[in-house]
């Protein structure tokens, strides 16, 4: 697991390794998919609440990263035998506005389906291809948040 996280460049100098935060929650050898999550509703041109799109890490232009706090890096892992997916968001990477608008009252609400990248579906061996609309509880842990979609 730690090797997977280090491969995705999540270790930072002068900061506790984020892999330590997740090691007790993930099975040894669990595959992780590192990505950027853009918040908003797909039907509202990525405005509003929800997840607008998920893209492979490093695919967002640098200018977009600096101009808005409507996105965050995330890790995804397989859940319930491929019938679901868990998203891990690191608190240190989240803008306060994401807490206020997207994760209000401990819930993430998706009004629209959000397609999962084909590379994620294949790599994690998922049976689902989209995040379905609904209200999803946000689990709070030390240093990170976990949201499970099924």
Side-chain-side CA neighbours of 122 within 13 Å: the count stands at 4
Question: What CA–CA distance (Å, rounded) separates 15 from 21?
Answer: 12
pLDDT of amino acid 37 = 93
In sequence order, the 6+-apart residues with CB closer than 8 A to the CB of 9 are 34, 57
The dihedral sign for the CA sequence 65, 66, 72, 74: positive
Percent of the chain with pLDDT over 70: 72
Beta-bridge partners for 130: 115
Predicted confidence at residue 6, as pLDDT, reads: 40
Q: Supply the pLDDT for residue 79.
A: 86
Q: Which bin fits 97, alpha (ψ -120 to 50), beta or left (φ > 0)?
A: alpha
Note the pLDDT tens digit of each residue in 83-130: 999 999 998 888 888 888 899 889 999 999 999 999 999 999 999 999
Question: What is the average pLDDT value for the chain, to the nearest integer?
Answer: 78
The answer on pLDDT for 24 being more than 70 is no
pLDDT of 10 above 80: no
Whether residue 26 is predicted with pLDDT greater than 80 in this model: the reply is: no
Q: What is the pLDDT of residues 28-39, one digit of tens each?
A: 566 888 899 999
Antiparallel, parallel or unpaired: β 84-90 and 144-149: antiparallel
């Amino acid at each position: 697991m730690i090797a997977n996280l280090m491969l995705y460049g999540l270790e930072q100098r002068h900061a506790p390794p984020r892999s330590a935060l997740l090691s007790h929650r993930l099975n040894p050898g669990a595959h992780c998919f590192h990505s950027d999550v853009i918040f908003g509703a797909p039907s509202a041109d990525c405005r509003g609440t929800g997840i607008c799109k998920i893209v492979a890490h490093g695919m967002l232009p640098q200018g977009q990263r600096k101009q808005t706090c409507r996105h965050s890096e995330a890790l995804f892992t397989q859940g319930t035998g491929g019938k679901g997916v868990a998203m891990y968001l690191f608190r240190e990477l989240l803008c306060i506005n994401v807490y206020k608008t997207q994760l209000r009252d401990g819930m993430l609400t998706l009004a629209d389906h959000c397609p999962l990248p084909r590379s994620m579906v294949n790599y994690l061996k998922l049976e689902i291809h989209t995040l379905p609309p609904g209200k999803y509880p946000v689990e709070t842990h030390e240093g990170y948040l976990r949201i499970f979609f099924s």
